Structure 1
Amino acid sequence: MNIDEDTSAWLGCPTPLEMYKHQCALLEDELIQTQAQVRKARANVAGLVQMNDALITGKTDAESALKLARSEISRLNLENSQMGRRINSLMAVCEQRDHLFRENQRLLLELKVFKGASA
C-alpha cells in the first residue's frame, strides 16, 4: 500500500490555483459592491450639499423677512405710542369740556333760581 499517494483530488478538494481564483472572484465581487456603495454615498453627499444650499438660502430669506418684520413692529410701536399720547391729550380735553359743561349747567340753574326769586 502506498501512503504517499495524493488523495486530495479524490475528495473533490480544489487545487491551490482554484482556491486563488475563487478568492479573487470573491474579492472582485466585494470590490464591485464597495464601488456601488461609494457611488451611492457620493450621490447622497451631493444631495445633502444641495439640500444644505437650499436651507442656507431659505435661512437667509427668513432672516431678511424677520428683519423687515422687526422694523415694521418698531414703526408700529412708535406710531401706537404717538397715538396713545394724542388720545390721552384728547381725553384730558374731553374731561375739561365735561367739567365746563357741568359748571355751565350749574350756573344756568343758579341764574334761573336767582331770576325766579327776583321776579
Structure 2
Amino acid sequence: MDPIEIEDTDDWLGCPTPLETCRHQLRIYENEVEELTLQLRQAREKIFKLVEMHAEAIGQRDEAMANLRARSGESAALRKQLYDLDISARVHQREVERLRGILDGLVDPPKTSEQTT
C-alpha cells in the first residue's frame, strides 16, 4: 500500500465523508441558531415585562408623591391651626391666672368709674 493512500480515510468504515461532516456541522449550526433565536425571543419578552413593570412602578411612585404632597399641605395647615390654638390657649391661660389673682386678692381689682366717685 502506498503511504499516500494511508492518509486518505474517506473509505474507512464509520468515518464520515467531507460532505457528511459539512452536513452534520450545518445541522449543529442550525440547531444552535434555533436555540439562540428562542433565547432571544424569551429575553425580549422578559425585557418587555420589565419595561411594563418599570412604567407601572413609575406611575405608582408619581401617585404616591402627589398623595404625599397633598398630605404635606394638609399637615402644614393643621400645624398652623395647632400653633394658633396654642397661642390662643396661652392668652386665655394668662387671663385665667389674672382673674384668679384678682379673686384671691393678690392683685388689686381694676378701678371702675363707680369706685372713683
TM class by shorter chain equals 0.7 to 0.9
Runs of 4+ deviating beyond 4 Å: none
Residue 10 of structure 1 and its aligned partner are, at CA, apart by 2.4
Q: Which residue of 2 aligns with 1:41?
A: 43
| Structure-to-structure mapping, 1:10-49, within 5 angstroms | 10-49=12-51
Deviations 1:34-65 (A, max 9, x none): 00001001100110111011011001100100
More helix by share: 1
Q: Which residue of 2 aligns with 1:93?
A: 95
Residue 11 of structure 1 and its aligned partner are, at CA, apart by 3.6
Cα distance in 2 for residues equivalent to 1:102 and 1:7: 129
Q: Which residue of 2 aligns with 1:78?
A: 80
Q: Which residue of 1 aligns with 2:61?
A: 59
Q: Which residue of 1 aligns with 2:113?
A: none
Residue 28 of structure 1 and its aligned partner are, at CA, apart by 0.3
Q: How many residues are paired up?
A: 103
TM-score by length of 2: 0.82
Between structure 1 and structure 2, the one with the greater Rg is 1
> Tell me, which stretches of 5 or more residues in structure 1 are unaligned?
105-119
Higher relative contact order, chain-length normalized (CA < 8 Å, sep 6+): 2
Cα distance in 1 for residues equivalent to 2:9 and 2:16: 12
Residue 97 of structure 1 and its aligned partner are, at CA, apart by 1.1
Q: Supply the RMSD in Å over aligned alpha carbons.
A: 1.5
